[in-house]
Chain A
């Protein structure tokens, strides 16, 4: 964990309790990501998904909480390669996402992009980028486009704790602050950039302070608690939307799985993983809260489980039944016909 003293993260208790329907929706959205990723891991194990496959399990509260502050049809989202959760949270079709993972024609990119490269202009999702940190100037450009067109939108640009040491991140921070671009930078600090802990990679581990030199406000947030994330997201988005410029949120979170599928995760102890899973799981925490608030009963939760299971099963079936791209697809989409 971080060695630098941190500001006290906001507590969920301080926030107004949102209506229960909304809470239940967060639960469902997080559960969908969890079950989808578990299924993706399983399909990988069966050889149906190849190459890199970076699972989001454990981090679900971050993107679902952030999306609670997004204006549908206006705001934009961009992230790096651990991206399936962001796609689902943006409302992209699980079938299209899973079929892209299996490299089939029914995938979002017709099987030509894979796990790290999917896009949906309709849902405001701009990828899915495989070069660590490159999504940050790109996302800053989305913020620029929001400002240029005056559409009132905000770009949520996500990066991991590994990307924060890329130079282009600071080039972006500088321009975003200089031009007051509507961008919320979300640092998903899951403690490890591949196998290197934050402490071994960053001279200063208070990542939310990385915009200080540019006058960009930043705040740490408990990324395992969806209501805390949601409150921080609302504040950050409001700041960016109102013309005050960018905002940095450092969501402290945890990935349960390895960096990608072939990572045995020897750089951390089993106890550390197990402690996060049992004491801080974002889905279990919200489940307990829902029951405590009488927002839903056990039968209702079971019904959501069942519904999510059906969606994921159908996505998995679609991803296996959708044909591989026709050989002629090799030669399409290189250039747009002028």
Chain B
């Protein structure tokens, strides 16, 4: 059978082109790879190479012809032993059917598979399943997640809790290792990895050069091969050097691999404002990372959060961004005294129950919001404070259940307002509990400026208890 040569698409956007010039004439022998014609596409003049070997039997489209549709028959190639009459016969039938790709059916509207895939056990709890108005797949927790309760506690700092979480997981699994700047001999820039080098040795507690993009990529590659790296960024500000690997390499690979290769890795370190370190060292990355499907993003407040969530993050088969806060490292909290203590990812915690207004917050602002709740209580307003713990997935059922009770909601974060976590909370509450609201959701955020150094200006940027209480009073119409 002779081969019908079709007008090729020579750019991603070409639908038709000009057959500028034939470089072979009828009767010429053609080898695979020979340039047989020049074709003008929508972008440029391209050479068209033969894929098959044979003799150019018949030219069907004369050179100089414009507007030749992609996939129209332009010539007939005779194979070994075929003569010109075969070319005439082959030229007769209509061109080969257009390729499937051009007529691909438009995917069914995604609503059909809505409320999909967050794989959390369905609890027989009191919270009704959450159906997001805006379709997301892994950004929201959609059902109530059960959480174990504990009765024995020990007092420890957030710093100790993080160290213990890593040590316990490293004892449990040889594939877990810690890598970062000053994590080994120096014992951590903020002393979070104190004692780990002594216990686990330099094979598993690894000082890196100052080379964030390099070691974030290196650890991601090691995770592809099945290791379970914990990458410490001395602060998350420096993760911007490495963000291509966090997102393009770590977060997207599972999807791009059709599920065949994942990336079990934890990127952790202090996030947000420290004190008097100015703009490049004071920034919250929650909204940056929470934007991206393929990542989980956690932000502990207490030592119990820190320990339970870091252990969960290390065990999780996905890339997890773990946002700590330097100002919390030295604070002490009660932590469950149980070797099996792990927190579920995607489960918020009601730190203070209340009936008048919901305050949704995370990380260091949980403490500030609890102070605000005390101020409010003195004025007769009973605030409920939700510690998100997990930014992505976001525990929407817990937020909605609270708002349906209090009918008023504010969000509190250190980060900037524009496209921040508060914007997301405001959107999801408005979309899914609008009829329950007695006031618009209000956001309390860091001020929309790079962090200043001067002590008075810096103090103006971050939310304090009074600013939070004022916002809560405003939505209660008691300002």
Instruction: State the A residues within 8 Å of B (CB).
Output: 35, 38-39, 41-42, 44-52, 57, 76, 78, 102-103, 107-113, 117-121, 126-131, 134, 136-142, 144-146, 148-149, 167-168, 171-172, 174-175, 178, 256, 258, 261-262, 264, 266, 277, 320, 324, 327-328, 330-338
Contact = CB atoms under 8 A, between A and B. Distances in A.
A172 B261 CA distance: 22
B81 interface: no
A165 to B, nearest CB: 14
27 contacts: A38-B49, A39-B51, A45-B8, A45-B70, A47-B99, A47-B101, A50-B12, A119-B261, A121-B260, A121-B261, A131-B244, A134-B245, A137-B216, A138-B218, A138-B249, A141-B219, A141-B223, A148-B227, A168-B214, A172-B217, A258-B46, A261-B12, A262-B44, A324-B100, A333-B254, A335-B254, A335-B296
A328 B317 CA distance: 22
Closest 3 CB pairs of A and B: A141-B221, A137-B217, A45-B8
A107 B258 contact: yes
A38 B8 CA distance: 13
B254 A109 contact: no
A112 B256 contact: yes
A171 B254 contact: no
Given A137-B245, A334-B137, A171 B256 contact: no
Contact of A175 (B43, B214, B259): B214
A320 B215 CA distance: 41
Given A138-B249, A172-B214, A264-B44, A335 B9 contact: no
Contacts of B226: 145
B257 A48 contact: no
**Residue from A38, A144, A328, A330 with most neighbouring chain B CB atoms (10 Å):** A144
A38 B217 contact: no
A131 B315 CA distance: 29
Contact of B221 (A107, A140, A328, A338): A140
B177 interface: yes
B422 interface: no
A78 B254 CA distance: 16
Contact of B293 (A111, A121, A128, A334): A334
Contacts of A57: 33
B101 A48 contact: yes
A76 B318 contact: no
A331 B259 CA distance: 11
A50 B51 contact: no
A57 B32 CA distance: 12
Interface string B227-248: 1000000000000000011001
B331 interface: no
A322 to B, nearest CB: 10
B332 to A, nearest CB: 30
Contacts of A335: 117, 138, 254, 294, 296, 318
A185 B216 CA distance: 19
A141 B169 CA distance: 21
A263 to B, nearest CB: 8
B interface majority secondary structure: loop
A45 B218 contact: no
A171 to B, nearest CB: 3
B225 A76 contact: yes
Given A113-B258, A264-B43, A324-B100, 16 more contacts: A48-B99, A49-B101, A119-B260, A120-B260, A126-B261, A127-B261, A131-B248, A137-B220, A145-B226, A172-B218, A266-B44, A320-B100, A324-B104, A327-B112, A328-B113, A336-B254
Contacts of B215: 137, 171, 175
Given A109-B257, A333-B259, A134 B217 contact: yes
B455 interface: no
Contacts of B177: 148
A171 B210 CA distance: 9
Interface in B192-207: 203
Contacts of A256: 33
A141 B71 CA distance: 45
Nearest to B254: A333
A5 B17 CA distance: 45
A126 B225 contact: yes
A266 B293 CA distance: 40
Contacts of B41: 262
B221 A126 contact: yes
A210 to B, nearest CB: 15
A338 B214 contact: no
B219 to A, nearest CB: 6
B433 interface: no
B33 A119 contact: no
A47 B117 contact: no
A336 B209 contact: no
A313 to B, nearest CB: 11
A45 B10 contact: yes
B222 interface: yes
A70 to B, nearest CB: 15
A169 B434 CA distance: 51
A78 B33 contact: no
A39 to B, nearest CB: 6
Contacts of B108: 327
Given A110-B258, A168-B214, A41 B209 contact: no
A324 B106 CA distance: 11
Nearest to B118: A335
B258 A137 contact: no
B213 A142 contact: no
Contacts of B219: 141
Contacts of B253: 117, 119, 127
A103 B101 contact: yes
Given A129-B249, A138-B217, A141-B222, A112 B101 contact: no
Contacts of A332: 117, 259
Contacts of A38: 32-33, 49, 51
A167 B32 CA distance: 40
Contacts of A51: 12
A108 B138 contact: no
B208 interface: yes
Interface in B148-204: 177, 203
A225 to B, nearest CB: 20
B345 interface: yes
B117 A334 contact: yes
A117 B256 contact: yes
B102 interface: yes
B45 A264 contact: yes
B240 to A, nearest CB: 14
B244 A330 contact: no
Given A38-B51, A119-B257, A134-B248, A178 B209 contact: yes
B460 to A, nearest CB: 37
Contact of A261 (B10, B256, B259): B10
Contacts of B49: 38, 41
Contacts of B244: 131, 134
Given A171-B214, A327-B107, A328-B113, A333 B258 contact: yes
B254 A45 contact: no
A47 B6 CA distance: 11
